Amino acid sequence: MTTAELVTLTTLTMVRWFHLIGAAVLIGLMVYHALILGFRVNKVSGPVSPLLKKMSRFFGPVYWAAIVLLVATGGFTIVDRLSSLEGRALPFENAYEFFWGMKILLVLVVIGNSIFVNRLLGRVAAHSRYQALEDKGDTPSPPGNVFRMRATVASLRVFNLVIGIMILMMAALLQNTFTLIVLRMESY
């Protein structure tokens, strides 16, 4: 094995490991947000406890860092896979490209949904600020029903979790299909 091949193999291995770490962190945070934090906050009709606020402030940047890591390593993997298969007759070409497209589409849905949830959480925080002013004697009108917004956030987080699990299943399908393609090409 030449030095260039060894460097390439090491790089691909590191990218895969970073991708797996990012996926584990993101799915773990999705489970935490959807099944623990979401249902706990959803039942609160008043202001959220300071501990829950601190947890959300800590896990928010970790969540987005995991998404950025997954997009970067996933993009690298897509370029590597498609360039390694370029110009070859693929027995499963249409299915392979279809599932790549579906996976990318679902990733975009998760990112869009996460942005929407962040904006909705901003409105919930604004509502909490209005409540604090109201407690001091000022009477501004709060923007929207906080209980409904929290319930929507909890539902959207569960939706993100389901989509995240679907992305994991598609990743496994793509890995197996890629292995079959490579094995079939080597047998010709």
Q: What is the pTM of this model?
A: 0.77
- Per the structure, the count of domains in the chain is 1
Separation of alpha carbons 127 and 123, rounded Å: 6
pLDDT digits (tens, 9 = 90+) for 99-149: 888 889 999 999 999 999 888 888 877 776 666 666 666 655 555 677 777
Predicted pLDDT at 187: 59
Task: Give residue 182's domain range.
Answer: 3-187
